[in-house]
Amino acid sequence: MSDLHQALEQLSAIRTQVARDTQFRGYGPVSIAASGLLALAVAAVQSHIRPDGRDFLPFLIVWTGTAAIAIGLTALETISRARRAHFGLANEMILLAAEQFLPALGVGVLLTGVLVEAAPQQLWMLPGLWQLLFSLAVFASSRCLPRQIMAVGVWYLAAGLTCIVVQSATKTFSPWTMGIPFGVGQLLVAAVLQFGFEKASEDAQ
């Protein structure tokens, strides 16, 4: 039984290594583009309903809900596409993709909680900080995606820094500090996924 157990462990290690060396084609441009359009739409509605942007709780609730919807749509399409594109390696590929984003997501949740409890006067920085964390997640995923995805990471990095600088003057919660960076950023991701893989396939031929 020990030999069988060792053989299974070696097989699992080989499958994981193969997954690490394979481009991940599970992310779908449709759901990601939809999440970008959703961000822009939510920002437009929220800016009309609450134009002053001084209350953090409604801002947090709206954008947490928006993020949950976007993550749910992306997860559904990702699982479906990965099972078609990667066959027997689908589970390994999905887990590796999740490992690249979960640290940034977890840090974002913890950072939000810490600022709420310890430094509520600095909560206005959160949109910019969320974008900076998202840029790190994009950079972490760049190894298994088309190389053009690096430009998206740069976008989120620049957007996050710009957001902090701009909002430092008013210290309010403008919906557009979320809508524009994430709306444009997700549309850029969708474009990279739609055309980047096709370009990579042509280069390989």
- Please write the tens of the pLDDT for every residue from 2-15: 655 555 455 555 54
pTM, 2 dp: 0.84
How far is residue 187's CA from residue 194's CA, in Å, rounded to a whole number?
10
Assign residue 132 a region (left: φ > 0; alpha: ψ between -120 and 50; beta: otherwise). Answer: alpha
Q: Is the pLDDT of residue 205 over 50?
A: no
Whether the pLDDT of residue 64 is over 90: the answer is: yes
At 151 the pLDDT is 96
In this predicted structure, what is the pLDDT of residue 204? 35
Q: What would the pLDDT profile of 113-163 be if each residue is shown by its tens digit?
A: 999 999 999 999 999 999 999 999 999 988 888 889 999 999 999 999 999
- pLDDT for 16: 56
Q: How far is CA 137 from CA 15, 23, 67, 130, 150, in A?
A: 23, 16, 15, 11, 11
CA angle in degrees (0–180, nearest 5) for 158-163-164: 105
Residue 132 · residue 160 · CB < 8 Å? yes
State the pLDDT at residue 83: 84
Looking at mean pLDDT, say which of 13-27, 53-67, 124-138 comes out highest.
124-138
Examine the pLDDT at 202 and tell me if it is beyond 50.
Answer: no
pLDDT score at 149: 94
CB atoms within 10 A of CB 201: 10
